[in-house]
């Protein structure tokens, strides 16, 4: 008996987590998928009716806005955060004596809640009293910066706050990557008389391809899940102008009482995440087995 | 170090100097960009409403007042109640501490099993756990709301603790697993020959080795849970809301005059615990961030 | 005497791959058994099976006359020293050594007494309060040995314990292990890929390859009468010369003919060999080919050979000549006048010769 126990203790320790993940992740995904195929409104129904919720979803102008916002926000957020992060990492990599302090400054937003970030930027971009007022106070009477209440520009205000929050993290990733490049290769290039910018562009940056991929995955993941930032900064408004899939889903689930729509929009979000993450995880796991 | 500084030939010292100046200017401008919101938050929170309306965004307060902080802590209105952030701050504390401890402990045991006691299927379980880290939580919100109702935990702090533990296990397991795989498996073998069993080996040999990864995991989990908004807003009710939800309610409450100084003070109060952790243990914070994303 | 370790018909599979195939080994009390072979030959797996750290697929393991096949490691009355030493990093040296006793519930006074005895024996008394991280490689090695010694087991198991040490320290520690074995009269099983370690330490050697035992025997049996081409090639440095040749029986013995590229074949007469097939591989160790005039005896035969290369190695000089399409090495005395590109009379001592079948690789004589 004790022999048997000894042999099976590791499995028994892992079992609760395994069961929890089976139920609360995979079981729940199946539940949501199931409900997304029903006519559920305020309460879930379990009779499958086909893809009507998805038809409603794709016919909804609000969802349409949310998806195009996701594209705009996602592309700008990922590209700018990556470029800025890489630039900061390279600048910091130049034997700066104050590197530690600067790194701390660039990265601290990552420790903040998105709600805090949203609150701060909402105030900064306040049309009456924020940056607009400040620049007008400097004598530029016609200066205007009211993105946050402009339905066409509000999503770019979200982009600014998002980049402020996350670019320092990309910098930390890239800096770690720059430091892990084989020093001998760089010395060899310097001996060969290759200029510094060529060393970066031809040797160091290409060798960091896996880090670019990691940064991309993390940022894409953040973009798709973005919810709190929008809620705090614009509340999804003006109107639905800054709605993202995450806020759409939340509105359907908890304020509109439209569970079918909430479930189908969540499934679309998951499909988008998996389209990005699954190939990455697959290649990671396979690379490890080799 | 990359041993690589922008270093033009020494025959042009002025060129080098100009380049260094450009470098520092750029770094300084970016530092201002990142610091500006914090600066604005702090100064605004110390101003009176009158001064905010008449002064400039980035001006120092003419007259420092802590009124806004007092209101934010114990008087600001979140909807109909006007108790400030204080009760919600304590909700977050009461919620974060057990959630962090439990998820860290479970992650440590899981990581220990997966890294050192491999059995058939262990890798599959690890992959399943890992996938759980990547799902958008929207996909579990609806069933979880129902499940919490069934368990009698709806709208309660224990319910939120439960949710944070369940969805934190993936990351904590990943952290510990990646740490424990670097420890040679001969250590477990030696201890087995010495007569120690599964728990004894964990307790006497692995746990004493784990301080760095425990710190990383605790910081990571604490930051995640303290800053969480989605679970907080979905699974709490009036009275059990965490601080992020209360902050959002204060800022977006439509009753009365808009008190920007109170909003800023409240935002700083909500941010303070994670900021302090970051300042005190930034090294571990960064390690957690990069470990959570680079190593799969 | 009954064997202290008796392994019979042991098989070990990982899924469908066979790691160990039909292992049968048994040793007497006081034996020093060395498991030797190239990496991946299954020697460490076999040791882990003996320790009970890996389950076996079928077969039987007896230790001290008791069936231990399904007994957990702690109850097998063994102690083990690992390649990485596997010292517990957060415990002091003293705690490392006494951990096993503590787990088994040995009283503090006995722990203390045994610790002191072992520390004295291994001369690690000044190190007892240090952490493993503060020790040199050689010191860690001693602590690992101390942890094993304090157990006073029926069987000591060593898994390549010297492979992480530098060359000089390795020779020193080898001597110490040998001394320890002698003084304690203990029974030891020792895994190594280093055939010199095997030769110097063992009372009994098991040569393994691909999970199969190639030969079991005393060091001199293994060295002088290797059971097949693999053992002949693996044991000894420089390796045994393995020269393709043709055998022709005549009235009293066999004529061995070795082809050469630009010269007439060498013909050696072996009066002992009988019933050899036509194609053989002739095995002669470098020290059994000497300069003519330095080796005498009825089985010594001479032939003039073209010297291709001369390698002075201090105590000896090795010369290389191309015979039968192989680089054949002979071990000459240091003052030899051999020059590359010149002919030299070499003496082949056929009293030490081995013959192998070219296809199966098995020994013929």
Would you state the pLDDT for residue B2?
45
pLDDT at B276 over 50: yes
The length of chain A, given as a count of residues: 290
Which residues does chain C have within 8 Å of residue B182's beta carbon, measured at their own beta carbons? none
Nearest-angstrom CA–CA distance, C265 and C247: 13
Query: Positive or negative CA dihedral for C325, C327, C328, C333?
Result: positive
Look up tokens 């199931």; give the residue.
A34
Asked whether residue B70 is assigned to any structural domain, the reply reads no
The reply to whether residue A93 touches residue B227, judged by beta carbons under 8 angstroms, is no
Same domain, B136 and B280: yes
Same domain, B195 and B281: yes
How near does any CA of chain B get to the CA of C339, in Å?
Answer: 52
Would you state the pLDDT for residue A287?
66
DSSP, collapsed to helix, strand or coil, labels residue C115 as helix
Angular region, B183: left φ>0, alpha ψ -120 to 50, beta rest: beta
Same domain, C178 and C146: yes
Q: How many CA atoms lie within 13 A of A217 on its CB side?
A: 26
**Alpha helices by DSSP H, chain B:** 13-45, 49-54, 67-74, 86-116, 122-134, 138-150, 157-180, 186-193, 198-201, 207-209, 211-227, 230-235, 243-252, 260-280, 282-293
Same domain, C185 and C255: no
Per DSSP bridges, beta strands C279-284 and C354-356 are antiparallel
Tell me how many degrees the CA angle C120-C124-C127 measures, rounded to the nearest 5: 135
Q: Which of B232, B264, B224, B248 is nearest to B77 (CA)?
A: B248
Q: Kindly give the interhelix angle for B157-180 and B122-134, rounded to the nearest 10 degrees.
A: 130
Domain around C102: 5-231
Would you state the pLDDT for residue A285?
67
The reply to whether residue B197 touches residue A95, judged by beta carbons under 8 angstroms, is no
Nearest-angstrom CA–CA distance, C36 and C47: 11
Nearest-angstrom CA–CA distance, A223 and A220: 5
Q: Which of C102, C165, C178 is nearest to C137 (CA)?
A: C165
A184 or B265, higher pLDDT: B265
Same domain, C138 and C198: yes
How near does any CA of chain B get to the CA of A62, in Å?
Answer: 18
- pLDDT digit string, tens, across residues C170-183: 999 999 999 999 99
C345, burial (CB in 10 Å: exposed 0-12, middle 13-18, buried 19+) = exposed
Nearest-angstrom CA–CA distance, C271 and C249: 10
Nearest-angstrom CA–CA distance, C126 and C124: 6
Same domain, B240 and B113: yes
Which residues does chain A have within 8 Å of residue B133's beta carbon, measured at their own beta carbons? none
Which residues does chain A have within 8 Å of residue B21's beta carbon, measured at their own beta carbons? none
Nearest-angstrom CA–CA distance, A189 and A205: 14
H or E stretch at C6: strand C5-14
- pLDDT digit string, tens, across residues B172-194: 998 899 899 989 999 999 999 99
Lowest pLDDT segment from B256-270, C24-38, C68-82: B256-270
All residues at 6 or more sequence positions from A155 whose CB lies less than 8 Å from its CB, including other chains: A69, A72, A73, A241, A242
Mean pLDDT value across chain B: 86
Q: Does C55 touch chain B (CB under 8 A)?
A: no
Q: Are the C-beta atoms of residues C223 and C234 closer than 8 Å to each other? A: no
Which residues does chain C have within 8 Å of residue B187's beta carbon, measured at their own beta carbons? 86, 88
Q: Are the C-beta atoms of residues C82 and C161 closer than 8 Å to each other? A: yes
Same domain, B171 and B285: yes
The reply to whether residue C73 touches residue B193, judged by beta carbons under 8 angstroms, is yes
**Measured torsion, CA atoms of residues B219, B222, B225, B226, in degrees rounded to the nearest 10:** -120
pLDDT at B101 over 50: yes
Which residue from A minimizes the CA distance to C75? Answer: A3
Per-run averaged pLDDT (10 residues), chain A, 290 residues? 79 93 94 90 82 89 92 94 92 85 90 92 86 82 82 90 92 86 82 83 83 86 87 85 91 88 93 85 66
Would you state the pLDDT for residue B130?
84
Which residues does chain B have within 8 Å of residue A220's beta carbon, measured at their own beta carbons? none
Identify the CATH number of the domain in which residue C108 sits.
Answer: 3.40.50.300
Q: How many CA atoms lie within 13 A of C240 on its CB side?
A: 27
Restricting to A residues 43-102, those with a Cβ less than 8 Å away from any Cβ of B are 44, 88, 91-96, 102
Long-range contacts of A247-252 (CB under 8 A, 24+ apart): A247/A66, A248/A62, A248/A63, A248/A66, A249/B138, A249/B141, A250/B138, A250/B141, A250/B230, A250/B233, A250/B234
Q: Count CB neighbours of C6 within 10 A.
A: 18
CB nearest C86 (choices: B184, B208, B209)? B184
Look up tokens 């990581």; give the residue.
B111
Q: Are the C-beta atoms of residues C248 and C232 closer than 8 Å to each other? A: no
Nearest-angstrom CA–CA distance, B161 and B156: 9
Q: Which of C234, C183, C245, C187 is nearest to C208 (CA)?
A: C234
Look up tokens 């108790």; give the residue.
B83
Last residue of a domain, one of C185, C207, C231: C231
pLDDT at C262 over 80: no
Angular region, B65: left φ>0, alpha ψ -120 to 50, beta rest: beta
Same domain, B54 and B92: no
Structure tokens at B262: 């109170």
DSSP of C130-175: S-GGGS-HHHHHHHHHHHHHTT--SEEEEESTTTTS-HHHHHHHHH
Same domain, C210 and C267: no
Last residue of a domain, one of C231, C256, C283: C231
Same domain, B228 and B180: yes
Q: What percent of chain C is modeled with pLDDT above 90?
A: 67
- What backbone torsions phi and psi does residue B211 show, to the nearest 5 degrees? -50, -50
Same domain, C152 and C32: yes
Secondary-structure class of domain A61-289 per CATH: mainly alpha
The reply to whether residue C103 touches residue B205, judged by beta carbons under 8 angstroms, is no
CB burial string B24-39: b at 16+ within 10 A, e below? eeebeebbeebebbbe
The reply to whether residue A265 touches residue B138, judged by beta carbons under 8 angstroms, is yes
How near does any CA of chain B get to the CA of A25, in Å?
Answer: 6
The reply to whether residue A259 touches residue B282, judged by beta carbons under 8 angstroms, is no
Q: Does C179 touch chain B (CB under 8 A)?
A: no
Last residue of a domain, one of C199, C231, C263: C231
Asked whether residue B72 is assigned to any structural domain, the reply reads no
Give ipTM to 2 decimals.
0.88
The length of chain B, given as a count of residues: 296
The reply to whether residue C88 touches residue B189, judged by beta carbons under 8 angstroms, is no
The reply to whether residue C99 touches residue B208, judged by beta carbons under 8 angstroms, is no
Same domain, C106 and C169: yes
Identify the CATH number of the domain in which residue B167 sits.
Answer: 1.10.3720.10
DSSP character at residue A108? G
Q: How confident is the model at residue C329 (pLDDT cuts 50, 70, 90)?
A: very high
Same domain, C224 and C262: no
Asked whether residue C47 is assigned to any structural domain, the reply reads yes
Same domain, C246 and C223: no
Q: Does C99 touch chain B (CB under 8 A)?
A: yes
Same domain, C197 and C258: no
pLDDT at B295 over 70: no
Domain around B92: 86-293
Asked whether residue B24 is assigned to any structural domain, the reply reads yes
**Interface mutation vs chain B, best among A119, A148, A230, most B CBs within 10 Å:** A119
In the sheet with C316-323, reading across from the earlier edge strand, the strands are C309-312, C316-323, C326-333
- pLDDT digit string, tens, across residues B20-72: 888 889 999 999 999 999 999 999 888 888 888 887 777 788 888 888 888 88
Would you state the pLDDT for residue A203?
82
Would you state the pLDDT for residue B9?
47
Q: Count CB neighbours of A144 within 10 A.
A: 11
Q: Are the C-beta atoms of residues C21 and C212 closer than 8 Å to each other? A: yes
Same domain, B252 and B169: yes
Q: Are the C-beta atoms of residues C358 and C324 closer than 8 Å to each other? A: no
How near does any CA of chain A get to the CA of C88, in Å?
Answer: 21
Identify the CATH number of the domain in which residue C252 sits.
Answer: 2.40.50.140
Asked whether residue C13 is assigned to any structural domain, the reply reads yes
Same domain, B133 and B22: no
Q: How many CA atoms lie within 13 A of A283 on its CB side?
A: 8
DSSP, collapsed to helix, strand or coil, labels residue C333 as strand
Same domain, B197 and B102: yes
Over residues C242-252, the mean pLDDT reads: 86
Same domain, C30 and C158: yes
CB nearest A24 (choices: B113, B166, B282)? B166
Would you state the pLDDT for residue B3?
46
Would you state the pLDDT for residue B293?
56
Same domain, B248 and B284: yes
Q: How confident is the model at residue C6 (pLDDT cuts 50, 70, 90)?
A: very high
Mean pLDDT value across chain C: 91
pLDDT at B10 over 60: no
Nearest-angstrom CA–CA distance, C187 and B175: 43
The count of structural domains within chain C is 2
Same domain, C268 and C208: no
Same domain, C223 and C352: no
Angstrom CA distances, A188 to A183, A192, A203, stand at: 9, 6, 11
pLDDT at B269 over 90: yes
Which residues does chain A have within 8 Å of residue B5's beta carbon, measured at their own beta carbons? 94-95, 196
Q: Which of C181, C224, C183 is nearest to C203 (CA)?
A: C181
Look up tokens 């020293």; give the residue.
C81
CB nearest B136 (choices: A204, A228, A273)? A273
Would you state the pLDDT for residue C318?
94
Nearest-angstrom CA–CA distance, A284 and A290: 10
């Amino acid at each position: 008996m004790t022999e048997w126990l000894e042999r099976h203790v590791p499995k028994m320790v892992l079992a609760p987590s395994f069961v929890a993940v089976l139920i609360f992740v995979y079981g729940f995904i199946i539940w949501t998928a199931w409900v997304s195929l029903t006519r559920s409104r305020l309460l879930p129904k379990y009779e499958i009716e086909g893809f009507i919720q998805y038809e409603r979803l794709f016919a909804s102008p609000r969802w349409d806005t949310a998806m195009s916002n996701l594209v705009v926000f996602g592309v700008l957020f990922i590209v700018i955060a990556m470029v800025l992060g890489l630039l900061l990492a390279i600048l910091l990599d130049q034997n700066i004596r104050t590197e530690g302090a600067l790194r701390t400054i660039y990265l601290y937003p990552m420790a903040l809640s998105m709600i805090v970030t949203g609150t701060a930027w909402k105030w900064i971009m306040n049309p009456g009293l924020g940056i607009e007022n400040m620049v007008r106070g400097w004598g530029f009477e016609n200066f205007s910066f009211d993105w946050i209440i402009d339905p066409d520009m509000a999503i770019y205000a979200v982009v600014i706050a998002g980049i402020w929050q996350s670019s320092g993290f990309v910098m930390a990733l890239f800096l770690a990557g720059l430091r892990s490049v084989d020093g001998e290769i760089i010395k060899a290039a310097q001996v060969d008389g290759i200029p510094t910018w060529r060393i970066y562009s031809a040797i160091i940056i290409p060798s960091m391809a896996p880090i670019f991929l990691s940064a991309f995955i993390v940022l894409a993941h953040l973009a798709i899940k973005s919810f709190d930032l929008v809620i705090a900064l614009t509340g999804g408004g003006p109107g639905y102008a800054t709605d993202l899939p995450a806020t759409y889903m939340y509105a359907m689930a908890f304020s509109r009482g439209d569970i079918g729509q909430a479930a189908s929009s969540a499934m679309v979000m998951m499909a988008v995440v998996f389209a990005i993450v699954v190939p990455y995880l697959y290649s990671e796991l396979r690379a490890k087995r080799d | 170090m990359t041993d690589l500084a922008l270093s033009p030939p020494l025959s042009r010292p002025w060129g080098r100097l100009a380049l260094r100046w450009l470098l520092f200017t750029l770094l300084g401008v970016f530092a201002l960009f990142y610091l500006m919101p914090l600066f604005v938050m702090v100064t605004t929170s110390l101003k009176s409403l009158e001064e905010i309306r008449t002064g400039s965004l980035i001006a120092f307060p003419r007259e420092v007042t802590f009124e806004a902080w007092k209101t934010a802590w114990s008087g600001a209105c979140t909807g109909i109640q006007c108790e400030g952030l204080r009760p919600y701050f304590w909700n977050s504390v009461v919620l974060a501490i057990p959630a962090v401890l439990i998820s860290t402990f479970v992650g440590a045991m899981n990581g220990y099993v997966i890294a050192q006691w491999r059995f058939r299927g262990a890798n599959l379980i690890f992959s399943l756990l890992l996938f759980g880290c990547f799902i958008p939580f929207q996909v579990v919100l609806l069933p979880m709301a129902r499940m919490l109702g069934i368990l009698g935990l709806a709208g309660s702090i224990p319910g939120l603790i439960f949710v944070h533990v369940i969805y934190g296990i993936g990351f904590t397991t990943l952290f510990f697993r990646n740490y424990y795989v670097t420890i040679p498996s001969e250590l477990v073998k030696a201890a087995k020959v010495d007569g120690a069993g599964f728990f004894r080996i964990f307790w006497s040999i692995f746990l004493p080795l784990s301080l760095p990864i425990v710190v990383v995991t605790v910081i990571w989990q604490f930051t995640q849970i303290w800053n969480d908004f989605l679970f907080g807003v979905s699974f709490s009710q009036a009275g059990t809301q965490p601080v992020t939800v209360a902050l959002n309610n204060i800022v977006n409450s439509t009753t009365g005059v808009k008190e920007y100084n109170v909003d800023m003070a409240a935002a700083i109060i909500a941010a303070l615990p994670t900021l302090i952790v970051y300042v005190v243990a930034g090294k571990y914070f960064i390690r957690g961030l990069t470990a959570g994303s680079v190593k799969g | 005497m009954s064997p202290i370790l008796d392994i019979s018909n042991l098989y070990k599979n990982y899924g469908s791959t066979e790691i160990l195939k039909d292992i049968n080994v048994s040793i007497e009390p006081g034996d020093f058994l060395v498991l030797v072979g190239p990496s991946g030959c299954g020697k460490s797996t076999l040791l882990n099976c003996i320790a009970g750290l890996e389950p076996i697929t079928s077969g039987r393991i007896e230790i001290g006359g008791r069936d231990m096949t399904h007994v957990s490691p702690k109850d097998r009355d063994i102690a083990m020293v690992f390649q990485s030493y596997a010292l517990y990093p957060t415990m002091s040296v003293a705690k490392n050594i006494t951990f096993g006793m503590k787990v088994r519930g040995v009283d503090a006074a006995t722990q203390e007494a045994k610790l002191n005895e072992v520390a004295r024996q291994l001369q690690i008394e000044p190190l007892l309060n240090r952490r493993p991280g503060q020790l040199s490689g050689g010191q860690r090695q001693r602590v690992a040995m101390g942890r094993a010694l304090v157990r006073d087991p029926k069987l000591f198991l060593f898994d390549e314990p010297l492979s992480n040490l530098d060359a000089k320290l390795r020779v020193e520690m080898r001597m110490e292990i040998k001394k320890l074995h002698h003084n304690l009269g203990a029974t030891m099983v020792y895994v190594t890929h280093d055939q010199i370690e095997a030769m110097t330490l063992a009372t009994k050697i098991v040569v393994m390859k691909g999970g199969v035992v190639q030969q079991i025997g005393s060091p001199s049996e293994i060295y002088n009468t290797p059971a097949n081409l693999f053992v002949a090639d693996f044991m000894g440095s420089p390796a045994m010369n393995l020269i393709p040749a043709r055998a022709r029986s005549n009235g009293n013995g066999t004529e061995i003919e070795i082809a050469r590229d630009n010269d007439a074949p060498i013909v050696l007469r072996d009066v002992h060999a009988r019933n050899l097939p036509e194609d053989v591989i002739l095995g002669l160790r470098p020290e059994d080919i000497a300069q003519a005039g330095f080796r005498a005896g009825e089985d010594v035969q001479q032939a003039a050979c073209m010297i291709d290369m001369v390698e002075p190695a201090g105590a000896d000089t090795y010369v290389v000549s191309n015979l039968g399409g192989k680089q054949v090495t002979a071990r000459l005395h240091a003052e030899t006048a051999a020059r590359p590109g010149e002919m030299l009379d070499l003496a082949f001592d056929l009293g030490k010769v081995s013959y192998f079948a070219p296809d199966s690789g098995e020994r013929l004589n």
